[in-house]
Amino acid sequence: MYFRLIRPSAPDFLAHLNQIKPAFAGSDTPKAEFDEVKSMVRAKEASFYLLTGKGIKLWFISRVQDGRYHIIAMTGRGLGEAASHIIDRVAACGYGTITYHTYRKGMRRILDKFGFKQV
C-alpha cells in the first residue's frame, strides 16, 4: 500500500484534483464545495492523498478537526480493501477517531462497516 501526498506545487496537482470532483456529486453546490476544498489544500489547511495498491486507487482530502481525523472528500476504487490501511495509518499518527462526509450511499455503507463516523 502506498500513500502519496499530493502537494499543490506538484506538476500533476490539477490532474489529480480533477479526480476528486465526483465526490461532490449530490451536493446542492458541487462547484462551490470543490473550490472550497481546493482552496483548503492550497492553503495547507487540508492534505490531499493518492492511495494505491493491488486493486486500489483512491484520492482523498482530509484534515485534523477537533482532534479527529476528518475525511472531507474521497473518490476512486478499492475502498473496502483500503479502509483497514487508512485506519492503521491514522492510528499510527495518534488519532483515535476518523470522521467523514459523503454524498455517496455506497461509500457511507463501506465506511460505517469499518467504524468510521459520519458528521
The CATH number of the domain where 39 resides is what?
3.40.630.30
Identify the CA nearest to 49 among candidates 5, 100, 9, 1. 5
Q: Which three cell numbers stand for residue 42?
A: 492550497
Number of domains comprising the chain: 1
DSSP 115: T
> The pTM is what?
0.86
Residue 43 domain boundaries:
2-118
The reported pLDDT for the residue numbered 119 is: 52
The reported pLDDT for the residue numbered 79 is: 85
Identify the CA nearest to 117 among candidates 76, 78, 69. 69
The reported pLDDT for the residue numbered 27 is: 87
Q: Is it the case that residue 99 has pLDDT exceeding 90? A: no
Q: What is the pLDDT of residues 85-98, one digit of tens each?
A: 998 999 999 998 88
Q: What is the pLDDT of residues 34-90, one digit of tens each?
A: 999 999 999 999 999 999 999 999 999 999 998 999 999 999 999 889 988 998 999
The reported pLDDT for the residue numbered 48 is: 98
